Amino acid sequence: MSMTVEALADWLGGEVIGDRTIVVEKVQSLSKAGPQSITFFIGDRNHIQLKGSEAAAVLVDCKLRAALKVAGYSPAFILVEDPKNAFLEVAAHFAPPRARPPIGISTDAYVNATAQVGKGTNIHPGAHVAAGVVIGENCDIHPGTVVSRGCQLGDEVVLHPNVVLYENTIIGNRVIIHAGVVIGADGFSYRPVDGRHERIPHYGNVRIEDDVEIGACSTIDRAMVDETVIGQGTKVDNLVMIGHNCEIGRHNLFVSQVGLAGSVTTGDYVVCAGQVGIADHIHLGTRSVVGAKAGVHKDVPAGERQIGVPAIPEAECKRVVMAQHKLPEMRHQLKALERQVEELSSRVAQLLSQGTVAKDATQKAA
């Protein structure tokens, strides 16, 4: 699997600065790369990690060509248009993914006789496929996964261990669902009846469109009626909760611990950073961005960036934060002003008192 720097540069269409004969055997991050490793660098010419790197070779941006020739760093450099993408190509060479085993339907899995399973699909030991399920071609259903009655899966779907699909869940093509995900549980909906909480039944389902990826231990609730929808190409991180009747647009990004209450809707290309909380029936417009830990209590217009609790436009929130940093100083100023007002009030009272005494004396003299 080893390659020389020259061979790597030829493969990537890059230019070498330094020793072309160095042999590379593995990929590592910039801070941990050793004398047999290739890594990548994105940053300015003075980056301290680049100066101290022990890597055999570093993939860097073509724009740094002049700076590298002047600086005389020790690693060999391969100049490319996009160092990160080039590094991913090299990583796939040195650490290729394991081949998909063609195991078919394991005899230790339960597959109901009425289920339809496409060709090339693997159903691993311990998986459970219920009645009326339709599974497309070249899917992987891993151990401990439960596919309940009436579910439909497209082609090339991967359900990692211990995924649970409740009844009538619909999954598109090339969807990846990581371990421990639960899709289609009832939403958190109750009504008070005679002093107790009575559960509101849910009759809808969940539909996940093509090319979606759901991170480990996330949950997506079924709709009370109609569908909870996750749009095409959306990527959901670990530990994300999406409530009932939510309708998520295409190519959204939800980072870890995002929580969406019921009936939230989003446009396309929406980004919610870690631990964002969104109240029910809120709409996030297309290409809007909500910063980490923000609490969203009203609609976010298309293209707007919001942060804070409660969430407000980014520029406004920054002004608020800057003002908060000045509160101790403002408190001292306020106390000083209070003292000045007290002194002025005291002097005014004295002057008024003196004027009253003088007036009384004048009247007596008259």
Q: Write the DSSP string, 131-200.
A: TT-EE-TT-EE-TT-EE-TT-EE-TT-EE-TT-EE-TT-EE-TT-EE-TT-EEEEPPS-EEEETTEEEEP
Rounded to whole angstroms, what are the CA distances from 263 to 252, 280, 292? 16, 6, 21
**Is residue 282 very low, low, confident or very high in pLDDT (cuts 50, 70, 90)?**
very high
Q: Can you tell me the distance from the alpha carbon of 263 to that of 245, in angstroms, rounded to the nearest whole number?
A: 5
The DSSP-derived string for 226-249 is SEEEE-TT-EE-TT-EE-TT-EE-
Q: Over 256-283, what HEC string results?
A: CCCEECCCCEECCCCEECCCCEECCCCE
C-alpha 355 chain-centroid distance:
73
Mean pLDDT value of segment 227-244: 98
Mean pLDDT value of segment 318-339: 86
Higher model confidence: residue 323 or residue 213? 213
Per-residue pLDDT tens over the stretch 1-14: 789 999 999 999 99
Q: Can you tell me the distance from the alpha carbon of 234 to that of 270, in angstroms, rounded to the nearest whole number?
A: 9
- The domain limits of the chain are 3-94, 110-317, 334-361
Per-residue pLDDT tens over the stretch 106-146: 999 999 999 999 999 999 999 999 999 999 999 999 999 99
CB count within 10 Å of CB 120 equals 15
Which pLDDT belongs to residue 72?
59
Per-residue pLDDT tens over the stretch 159-205: 999 999 999 999 999 999 999 999 999 999 999 999 999 999 999 99
Q: 63-77, 130-144, 345-359: which has the minimum mean pLDDT? A: 63-77
**Is residue 44 very low, low, confident or very high in pLDDT (cuts 50, 70, 90)?**
low
Give me 358's structure tokens.
Answer: 């003088």
**Is residue 91 very low, low, confident or very high in pLDDT (cuts 50, 70, 90)?**
very high
Instruction: Extract long-range pairs of 94-101: CB within 8 Å, 24+ residues apart.
Output: 94/1, 94/24, 94/25, 94/26, 94/27, 95/26, 95/27, 100/140
What is the percentage of the chain residues whose pLDDT exceeds 90?
70
Per-residue pLDDT tens over the stretch 306-318: 999 889 888 888 8
Mean pLDDT value of segment 230-259: 98
CATH code at 110-317 = 2.160.10.10
Catalytically active residues are: 244
CATH code at 3-94 = 3.40.1390.10
Mean pLDDT value of segment 262-278: 97
Please give the radius of gyration of the chain, using alpha carbons only, rounded to the nearest integer. Answer: 32
Sign of CA dihedral 352, 353, 355, 359: positive
- Output the pTM of the full model: 0.84
Q: Is the pLDDT of residue 27 over 90?
A: yes
Higher model confidence: residue 35 or residue 241? 241
Say which residues have a Cβ less than 8 Å from residue 170's Cβ, sequence separation at least 6.
Answer: 151, 152, 205, 206, 207, 208
